[in-house]
Structure 1
């Protein structure tokens, strides 16, 4: 196997300095090293109700079929994240967002903890079946998907409910972003099969898709009632801000989750791991480098947002608020998330 910067292997664990037990103190490290977003946080008043309804939704579609899986989904607290990311607006919007996050958690757990994501040969047919569901575009008259199992049935329901909002452009964007997420999972599985750690540039690009943040932002825009139109969406300044927001959400997640992921062999798909492998830094320095990357990104985000607000375009207030809420929500949710304990 090649052993260059773009194809390093997991056989070499991230070097640890001084026997540090980062897994036990990761949350404390993250809180001290990451710059806290200055945005005001909030929480939707229906969050607790939505939490119960979403777990029942997952049960109904068979996404969780045992006490262990139900408990795992409850600990993930999808509603806690959605309620912070979408603190205002109709309950139906928060519920749809919560169900999407729950679906993403179940899909990620199937790949990360249940073994599906280590074997591209097993994962590819599952992804193909889910892509077939997306091709239906939530058509309520389409026959129920069967080959994709519970994940496919629940995915079709998400698309159907998004379609029912009557915004075709957002529906197509949502479906396209989910398609990118699913295809990125194959990239992740291929890396795991080959024990390959991607380079930092490659990882940053693909992390935007395996994080599933893009479709979440789309549903948050939908819930706001004033989503940006196609012309505004194509504005390079807003597009760049979108990518910054997605990066910040993913990198914050990587730092907070690294402790859990590093209890055994480090997962290739974490910013800390790829920085360590590409730069040769030990674990402590790689963690600080990842935190510094987040902090620089947050500073760049604040500058970019200020420039957009200075344009005087009132139509930008809603989408900018959604992205601020998501960055803040990820930070606050990560501090308490049992998913990374």
Structure 2
């Protein structure tokens, strides 16, 4: 579909307004958490210029982390807030705000997979690589091997499924709902957050309990609702982005 026809159709959509009551719990010292996160993002080269830094400040990713993980220990919450800012800016610059395929696409995405696999960066790191490496070296000190592996697997699935998302966008016709949901489930970033939710809030859930069919179904439903809420919220903006 060409851009003119797409924008004409966008004007006819009525975007749903969804209200989800959210408990008011939030972690303490959020202003300090935000300041530490922004300083870290600067040090890791995530904030490419002043305008982008201001945009990240407006997004308040540390506040989101503090709402999603209100009972997390301060050190773990700090790493989670760093993951939040890394994920949102990397996803933006790798997929949303760029042409679908660039000379750097494969290098960017495979670098993220290799960081998780090898616990090191390449000789010439791509954008976000050193930031993810720092996250992946910090979390194992705060989580069990089982819990870190759940998180790492979701990062791998994000990077690999991003390739399927690009392939989907290159097709002339839309894919079926089940295919789209499969892709969206892993490119949303929600899986990594859910993998940290038990350890950061109520105590680690055992492997036996986590992989029970009813618990996995709950994870899928939660992921689906997060994706739906995000897509409704960002629909108009992202529909006009190149990625």
* TM-score strictly above 0.5: yes
Q: 1:245 aligns with which of 214, 222, 233?
A: 222
Q: 1:155 aligns with which of 116, 122, 132?
A: 132
Hey, what does 1:56 align to over in structure 2? Answer: 39
The SS at the match of 1:227 is coil
Normalising by structure 2, we get a TM-score of 0.88
The SS at the match of 1:111 is helix
Normalising by structure 1, we get a TM-score of 0.64
The SS at the match of 1:202 is helix
Where does structure 1 lack aligned partners over 5 or more consecutive residues? 1-8, 269-341
Q: In structure 2, do the counterparts of structure 1 residues 14 and 199 end up closer, same or farther at CA, with 3 Å as the change threshold? A: farther
- Rounded to whole Å, the distance in 2 between the matches of 1:39 and 1:72 is 25
Contact 1:93 1:220 (8 Å CA) reproduced: no
Q: Measure how far apart 1:256 and its partner are.
A: 1.1
Tell which structure's C-alpha radius of gyration is larger.
1
Q: Measure how far apart 1:227 and its partner are.
A: 1.5
The SS at the match of 2:128 is helix
Hey, what does 2:56 align to over in structure 1? Answer: 73
- Rounded to whole Å, the distance in 2 between the matches of 1:261 and 1:218 is 26
Q: Measure how far apart 1:150 and its partner are.
A: 4.0
Contact 2:158 2:186 (8 Å CA) reproduced: yes
Hey, what does 1:325 align to over in structure 2? Answer: none
Q: In structure 2, do the counterparts of structure 1 residues 150 and 112 end up closer, same or farther at CA, with 3 Å as the change threshold? A: closer
Q: In structure 2, do the counterparts of structure 1 residues 261 and 128 end up closer, same or farther at CA, with 3 Å as the change threshold? A: closer
Structure-to-structure mapping, 1:203-282, within 5 angstroms: 203-224=180-201, 226-262=203-239, 264=240
Q: 2:86 aligns with which of 86, 103, 106?
A: 103
Structure-to-structure mapping, 1:94-133, within 5 angstroms: 94-115=77-98, 118-119=100-101, 122-133=104-115
Contact 1:42 1:84 (8 Å CA) reproduced: yes
- Rounded to whole Å, the distance in 2 between the matches of 1:253 and 1:113 is 14
Contact 1:93 1:222 (8 Å CA) reproduced: no
- Rounded to whole Å, the distance in 2 between the matches of 1:155 and 1:79 is 16
Q: Does 1:88 align with 2:76?
A: no
Q: How many residues get paired?
A: 242
Q: Does 1:13 align with 2:6?
A: yes
Q: In structure 2, do the counterparts of structure 1 residues 237 and 10 end up closer, same or farther at CA, with 3 Å as the change threshold? A: farther
Say which structure, 1 or 2, has more relative contact order (CA 8 Å, 6+ apart). Answer: 1
Where does structure 2 lack aligned partners over 5 or more consecutive residues? none
Q: Measure how far apart 1:20 and its partner are.
A: 5.2
Contact 2:143 2:199 (8 Å CA) reproduced: no
Contact 1:82 1:94 (8 Å CA) reproduced: yes
Contact 2:115 2:129 (8 Å CA) reproduced: yes
- Rounded to whole Å, the distance in 2 between the matches of 1:39 and 1:114 is 30
| Deviation by residue 1:270-312 (Cα, 9 ceiling, x = unmatched) | xxxxxxxxxxxxxxxxxxxxxxxxxxxxxxxxxxxxxxxxxxx
Q: Give the RMSD, CA atoms, in angstroms.
A: 2.5
